[in-house]
Structure 1
Amino acid sequence: MKVSVDPDVCDARGQCAVVDSELFTLAEEGFSDIGEGKPVPPGKEDVAEQGVEICPVQALSIDE
């Protein structure tokens, strides 16, 4: 499983980082800096799904 952010959609609300700041890292400005296709560590699949779901602008996605 991998998680990605669309940088054109992310508006720096940081809700994903509230779920897990190690998986959903933020740049200094508060925008997600996970990039495209960041591997989700084993056992963090549910956390990744929560972070994607909580994004108010739907900037995050999961690739199986």
Structure 2
Amino acid sequence: MRISIDKDVCIGAGLCALTAPEVFTQDDDGFGELVPGREDGAGNPLVGEAARGCPVQAIEVSP
């Protein structure tokens, strides 16, 4: 699985970090980012839910 966050689209809502905190976090400015070493989602079943829950669809998940 490959996960990417479009930093130009992210508004810093934080839903990704709340939904899948093992994979997503927020940077110092509050924008979403991937936890280092978890760029592949680490098999977390909540990654897809986090992507669907993003209010601006800034998260892309591909196989």
TM-score (norm 1): 0.83
Residue in structure 2 matched with residue 57 of structure 1 by the alignment = 56
Residue in 2 that maps onto 1:9: 9
Query: Aligned partners of 2:22 and 2:30: how far apart in 1?
Result: 14
Distance 1:19 1:53 in 2: 11
Structure 2 runs not aligned, ≥5 long: none
The 2-side partners of 1:23 and 1:59 are apart by 15
More strand by share: 2
Q: Note the C-alpha offset of 1:18.
A: 0.8
Cα displacement (A) at 1:21:
1.6
**Structure 1: runs of 5 or more not aligned:** none
After TM superposition, which residue ranges in structure 1, 4 or more long, deviate above 6 angstroms?
A: none
SS in 2 for 1:21: coil
SS of residue paired to 2:3: strand
Equivalenced residue count is 59
> Structure 1 residue 40 and structure 2 residue 41: aligned?
yes
